[in-house]
Amino acid sequence: MLTFYYAKGTSALAAHILLEELGVTYQAVEVALAQGAHKQAEFLQINPKARVPALATSEGVITENPAILTYLGATHPEAEMLPEGAFARAEADALNAYLCATMHVAFAHKFRGARWADDPAAIEAMGAKVAGNLTDCAALIEAHYLRGPWALGDQFTICDAYLALVPGWLSKAGVSLDQFPKLAAHWAALRARPAAGWVIAWHEK
């Protein structure tokens, strides 16, 4: 049995969507970030990085959204959500790496500037860059990654679950999704899927 460590309104949404899309049996454990539960010894044994999501499997704990999504896709090949073939797989890895290492980090400068600076003025200056940087990221995805109806074409893949984070990042940074028609259509299509739509609505509660 898998155990999924998550918090509502966080990037754990991506892995949560894939768990439900795949119909996986798992136990969900909410980690109270506001109370600092992720920094307590009990959770640090699960993820020493003090972050969600984390997925405990029979072989050990997996952290990082791209790794969790890949694991879930690989362990459910019948769903065909992890692209096969070296090039297709690398394309999926490239999009997921961009979301993890560039766009999510750009968004983190909005609320987590203290990770990078102590000077309040520097933190404020970094925060002021967030909307512009996220606009650039969204424009890049809009121009190069959304083949339609799903990110990589006809097949819903692990990337589509990860892309579910983009509208929330934009909204929290005050960037309108309306200026990105493909991303907006992707968001509407995601919400229309029974499993993904249910998870998104549940995280919004």
Ligand X SMILES: N[C@@H](CCC(=O)N[C@@H](CS)C(=O)NCC(=O)O)C(=O)O
Which stretches of the chain bind ligand X, using CB under 6 A?
10-11, 33, 38, 50-53, 64-65, 100, 104, 112
For ligand X, the closer CB: 9 or 148: 9
Q: How far is the CB of 65 from ligand X (least distance, A)?
A: 4
For ligand X, the closer CB: 72 or 100: 100
Q: How far is the CB of 7 from ligand X (least distance, A)?
A: 7
Q: Give, in degrees to the nearest 5, the angle at Cα 72 between 70 and 75.
A: 105
Q: Which residues contact 99 (CB under 8 A, 6 or more apart)?
A: 65, 66, 162, 163, 165, 166
Q: How far is the CB of 112 from ligand X (least distance, A)?
A: 6
Q: Identify the burial level of 127 via C-beta atoms within 10 angstroms of its C-beta, where 0-12 means exposed, 13-18 middle and 19 or more buried.
A: middle
Q: Which residues contact 61 (CB under 8 A, 6 or more apart)?
A: 46, 47, 54, 55
For ligand X, the closer CB: 112 or 129: 112
For ligand X, the closer CB: 117 or 153: 117
Q: How far is the CB of 100 from ligand X (least distance, A)?
A: 5
One-letter amino acid for residue 70 of the chain = T
Whole-number Å distance between alpha carbons of 144 and 152: 10
For ligand X, the closer CB: 4 or 78: 4
With H, G, I as helix, E, B as strand and everything else as coil, classify residue 180: coil
Q: How far is the CB of 53 from ligand X (least distance, A)?
A: 6
